[in-house]
Structure 1
């Protein structure tokens, strides 16, 4: 994949993560697999995989979406672990060339009403602001 700014989760990324991480395979009519397999109780495991597994660019992109969705769910459930935000932030910034579209999607910069955004949006807006300074 030559595009360093992925926009979509590819079938090969899903297949790779299913195999490498033993995640559930998508069903026949699954459209948003990366959101369906998110799990706020597994953020640490997902981060460990991101840091330690041999993942290609597409797999890193897909896994980070799973991590971000899982963290969003953790925020909603008041189950945020102390160091998770810093680890997620570190990886998003370190690999910003892969995750810039993910950052801007969740940052919802075009929405002024805080009631119409994700729980993780303030966190992602901070990262979008860092990107603009780079």
Structure 2
């Protein structure tokens, strides 16, 4: 297979491999600098620079981007923030606070138990506690139950203000709900359009 120019070191040592056991199965590796990226083959588009349909969507551990294998142009879609997840202590605290079930087999506890009926309670506890792990988990629950793409929705405006005030804490949560690996917004979460707009506004302020 032909070697391509590596988007990292600019040497012609970039090649792909396919392993159906991986998700996504196609990955790229540079034998010169060791750079590795995964390709989502469901996306391909016309390059705005060379006007050839040879742009692929790649992702490494820091960013998602378009890469043209013809002219080697790179267009950043988004940086990838550091992954963050709910802690056991935060889950235990919130389960006791709201009298929610809390069992070892629950993989996504914060999504399984979140209830729209308790939304006001979530906001109240968020304002009361000073623990970042608890606030982080609470925000995941708040976003889960909002279910709106209306910019004027009062509950969205409450959540948005907290996300702006504490963006560094909730950066990964906002990024997750943006679903940048899907260009078809109609196939994303209901709240995704609002999250993408928020991300665009805040990511520039928090490089």
TM over 0.5: yes
Question: Could you say which residue in structure 2 is the equivalent of 1:35?
Answer: 111
Matched, 1:23 2:99: yes
> Quick check: 23-32 or 59-68, which moved more?
23-32
Question: Is the aligned partner of 1:116 residue 2:193?
Answer: no
Deviation readout 1:52-110 (Å, 9 max, x if unpaired): x22411111000000000113xx39x9xx941111100001101111000000001122
* Structure 2: stretches of 5+ with no match in the other structure: 1-81
Structure with the bigger percentage of strand: 2
Q: Per chain length, whose mean CA-contact separation is higher, i.e. which structure has more relative contact order (CA < 8 Å, sep 6+)?
A: 1
- Does 2:204 align with 1:133? yes
Aligned to 2:87: 10
Q: Which runs of 4+ in 1 moved over 6 A?
A: none
Q: TM-score, normalized by length of structure 1?
A: 0.82
State the 1:118 CA deviation: 0.4
Aligned ranges 1:39-54 → 2 under 5 Å: 39-51=115-127, 53-54=128-129
CA spacing shift, 1:59–1:68, aligned 2, 3 Å: same
Q: How many residues align?
A: 123
Task: Work out which of the two has the higher radius of gyration on C-alpha atoms and give 1 or 2.
Answer: 2
**Is 1:43–1:67's contact at 8 Å kept on the other side of the alignment?**
yes
CA-to-partner distance for each residue in 1:13-46, whole Å, 9 max, x for gaps? 1012123x22313223111110011112222221
Match of 1:106 in 2: 177
Q: Note if 1:68 corresponds to 2:168.
A: no
- How far apart, in 1, do the equivalents of 2:108 and 2:135 lie? 16
Find the aligned partners of 1:55 and 1:17 in 2 and give their Cα distance.
14
- Which structure features the higher share of helix residues? 1
